């Protein structure tokens, strides 16, 4: 079977998803997990866009061996040189150069004619080729470009040394039949196309990114560009986990394979969601909480008799574990640690003990503890372990006609500190008390809360975005008490300031 290369752009296009900004160390953590997942290439960022992005790409190039590490660049000298400098330490560096080729982009964005675009594309490809043998070129908005001009550009950049040709559906305009036909036409009308791998990069504006990508694979594409959880600009990108599992599940149709370790899909999905603050929808294919859940009595009966009646994938094959974990206050440490291992966590004995204590406290409040409760417990424990300020207690006074007041007590490196403040509500009062303790001033940009599982006793997951001067920080925490979760989330954000 032909192997389809998986080019992950979570750290570049995925990070462009509104609200998904990542710290340098967050990017490195995701990149390391992408290596474990088995992706062929990691587009680590757009180095010229900011000093922080340059440093993040360079750090990944230095630390992550195995996959291709790619930096994006426009057909501009400063972009290409920035990308070269960032990916130079990589074991397998790649420069990805792009230039728009559609009439609407050439007229309104670039204000250049076809001949000038063709000249710039070749110039950019040749400049990148001077620094590395692995160069990818994207004719941006290819799905809306005139085919004859697109063929000319593709042929010319391959002559200039490009080894991968990416055909982007930049605005999600394509439909599967036509997009597959475009890939087939490029194969049939570009004389030297056999000297390059055809790649595809599809956006999800019409909800067709995965379908378009798979149609391209069926018509000869050898690489798919995608993101974890499908995050990205506007409506997002093609979802890596959906692409991979479609190819894996329907080998009979696609007659190809990928090198992805599918058992790492769920833990990778969870990591990206945690670090970006972009939640995975409950009904998300492959990695959503409901992806392997069955509520209908008919479905339950069928699955109990023969799993294949209502499940075309095994939850274990994507690292999902069992759909639902029913655990309570009588559960033992052994069963608890085995369950965490099945969920993909590799914890030390000390970490397991701390998580088990938190589990017991939660089990006293809830009738049932589910897999996502356990994930929240582990995540909460990893956050608290490394935090400068740790919550000891808080008290709030509020009610009709009463100005909300809060008293917050924390420990800072073993020393007890407390502060009192009033605010527009109990949470606002707590946040102002924390600011007094930490001697910072923050502006709350976004606040969201969701129920991790169902029921009145469910854990509430609070995610906030706070601006401290010019720095925007993400804070997150979970608790059955929403006010307490909100307080811990703000402390989590403050702790990230260092």
Average confidence (pLDDT) over 395-424: 94
pLDDT band at 29 (very low <50, low <70, confident <90, very high): very high
What integer pLDDT is reported at residue 385 of this predicted model?
Answer: 57
The annotation places the binding site for Mn(2+) at 13, 201, 203, 237
The annotation places the binding site at 13, 201, 203, 237
What integer pLDDT is reported at residue 20 of this predicted model?
Answer: 81
Angstrom distance (rounded) from CA 39 to CA 33: 10
Q: Alpha-carbon torsion 477, 483, 486, 490, what sign? A: negative
Q: Tell me the pLDDT of the chain averaged across its residues.
A: 91
pLDDT band at 278 (very low <50, low <70, confident <90, very high): very high
Task: Give the residue among 225, 186, 218, 220 at the shortest CA–CA distance from 202.
Answer: 225
Angstrom distance (rounded) from CA 405 to CA 451: 26
- Six token digits for residue 377: 């417990």
What integer pLDDT is reported at residue 326 of this predicted model?
Answer: 45
pLDDT tens per residue across span 36-82: 999 999 999 999 999 999 999 999 999 999 999 999 999 999 999 99
What integer pLDDT is reported at residue 332 of this predicted model?
Answer: 66
Percent of the chain residues past pLDDT 70, beyond the cut: 92
Looking at domain 387-495, what is its CATH homologous superfamily?
Alpha-isopropylmalate synthase LeuA, regulatory domain (3.30.160.270)
| Residue 47 near residue 59 (C-beta atoms within 8 A) | no
The pLDDT of residue 296 is above 80: no
What integer pLDDT is reported at residue 282 of this predicted model?
Answer: 85
Q: Does the structural domain 2-276 have CATH classification 3.20.20.70?
A: yes
- Higher pLDDT pick, 19 / 10: 10
Residues 6+ away with beta carbon under 8 Å from 27: 11, 15, 44, 45, 56, 59, 60
The pLDDT of residue 153 is above 80: yes
Q: What are phi and psi of 81, to 5 degrees?
A: -65, -35
pLDDT band at 413 (very low <50, low <70, confident <90, very high): confident
- Higher pLDDT pick, 456 / 357: 357
What integer pLDDT is reported at residue 445 of this predicted model?
Answer: 92
Tell me if residue 404 falls in helix, strand or coil: strand
Name the segment(s) of the chain with CATH classification 3.30.160.270. Answer: 387-495
Task: Give the residue among 416, 410, 413, 381 at the shortest CA–CA distance from 393.
Answer: 410
Residues 6+ away with beta carbon under 8 Å from 309: 302, 303
Angstrom distance (rounded) from CA 6 to CA 244: 8
What integer pLDDT is reported at residue 325 of this predicted model?
Answer: 43
| Residue 272 near residue 239 (C-beta atoms within 8 A) | no
pLDDT tens per residue across span 225-277: 999 999 999 999 999 999 999 999 999 999 999 999 999 999 999 999 999 98
pLDDT tens per residue across span 207-218: 999 999 999 999
pLDDT tens per residue across span 155-178: 999 999 999 999 999 999 999 999
pLDDT tens per residue across span 299-340: 656 766 777 887 889 989 999 876 544 455 656 677 678 778
Q: Is the pTM of this model over 0.85?
A: no
Average confidence (pLDDT) over 285-290: 90
- Higher pLDDT pick, 90 / 334: 90
Burial of 428 (0-12, 13-18, 19+ CB in 10 A): middle
Angstrom distance (rounded) from CA 468 to CA 441: 6
Task: Give the residue among 177, 326, 332, 244 at the shortest CA–CA distance from 40.
Answer: 244
Name the segment(s) of the chain with CATH classification 3.20.20.70. Answer: 2-276
pLDDT tens per residue across span 444-475: 999 999 887 666 667 788 999 999 988 888 88
What integer pLDDT is reported at residue 392 of this predicted model?
Answer: 95
The pLDDT of residue 295 is above 60: no
The number of C-alpha atoms within 13 Å of 323 and in the hemisphere containing its C-beta is 15
Residues 6+ away with beta carbon under 8 Å from 101: 117, 121, 139, 140, 141, 142, 145, 149, 150, 153
Percent of the chain residues past pLDDT 90, beyond the cut: 72
Average confidence (pLDDT) over 97-126: 97
């Amino acid at each position: 079977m032909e192997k389809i290369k998986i080019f992950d752009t979570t750290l570049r296009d995925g990070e462009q998803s509104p609200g998904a900004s990542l710290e340098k160390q967050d990017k490195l953590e995701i990149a390391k997990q992408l290596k474990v997942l088995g992706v062929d290439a990691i587009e680590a960022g757009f180095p010229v866009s900011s000093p922080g992005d340059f440093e993040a790409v360079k750090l990944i190039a230095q630390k992550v061996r195995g996959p291709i590490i790619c930096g994006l660049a426009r057909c501009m000298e400063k972009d290409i040189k920035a990308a070269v400098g960032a990916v130079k330490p990589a074991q397998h560096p790649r420069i990805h150069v792009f230039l728009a080729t559609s009439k609407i982009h050439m007229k309104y964005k670039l204000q250049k004619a076809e001949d000038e675009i063709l000249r710039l594309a070749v110039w950019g490809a040749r400049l990148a080729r001077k620094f590395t043998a692995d160069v990818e070129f994207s004719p941006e908005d290819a799905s809306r470009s005139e085919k004859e001009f697109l063929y000319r550009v593709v042929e010319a950049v391959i002559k200039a040394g490009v080894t991968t040709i990416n055909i982007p559906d930049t605005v999600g305009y394509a439909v599967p039949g036509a997009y597959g036909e475009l890939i087939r036409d490029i194969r049939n009308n570009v004389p030297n196309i056999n000297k390059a791998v055809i790649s595809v990069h599809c956006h999800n504006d019409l909800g067709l990114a995965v379908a378009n990508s798979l149609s391209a694979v069926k018509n000869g594409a050898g690489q798919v560009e995608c993101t974890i959880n499908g995050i990205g600009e506007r409506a997002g990108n093609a979802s890596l986990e959906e692409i991979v599992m479609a190819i894996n599940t329907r080998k009979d149709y696609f007659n190809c394979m990928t090198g992805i370790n599918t058992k790492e899909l769920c833990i990778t999905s969870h990591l990206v969601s945690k670090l970006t603050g972009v939640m995975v929808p409950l009904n998300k294919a492959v990695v959503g909480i409901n992806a392997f859940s069955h509520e209908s009595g008919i479905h339950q009966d069928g699955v109990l008799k023969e799993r294949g009646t209502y499940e075309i994938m095994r939850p274990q094959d994507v690292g999902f574990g069992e759909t639902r974990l029913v655990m309570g206050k009588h559960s033992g440490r052994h069963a608890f640690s085995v369950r965490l291992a099945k969920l993909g966590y590799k914890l030390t004995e000390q970490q397991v003990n701390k998580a088990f204590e938190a589990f017991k406290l939660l089990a006293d409040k809830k009738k049932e503890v589910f897999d996502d409760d356990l994930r929240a417990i582990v995540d909460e424990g990893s956050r608290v372990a490394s935090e400068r300020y740790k919550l000891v207690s808080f008290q709030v006074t509020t009610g009709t006609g009463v100005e909300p007041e809060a008293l917050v007590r924390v420990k800072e490196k073993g020393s007890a500190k407390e502060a009192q403040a009033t605010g527009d509500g109990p949470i606002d009062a707590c946040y102002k008390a924390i600011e007094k303790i930490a001697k910072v001033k923050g502006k709350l940009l976004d606040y969201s809360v969701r129920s991790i599982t169902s029921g009145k006793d469910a854990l509430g997951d609070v995610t906030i975005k706070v601006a401290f001067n010019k720095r925007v920080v993400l804070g997150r925490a979970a608790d059955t008490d929403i006010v307490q979760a909100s307080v811990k989330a703000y402390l989590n954000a403050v702790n990230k300031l260092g």
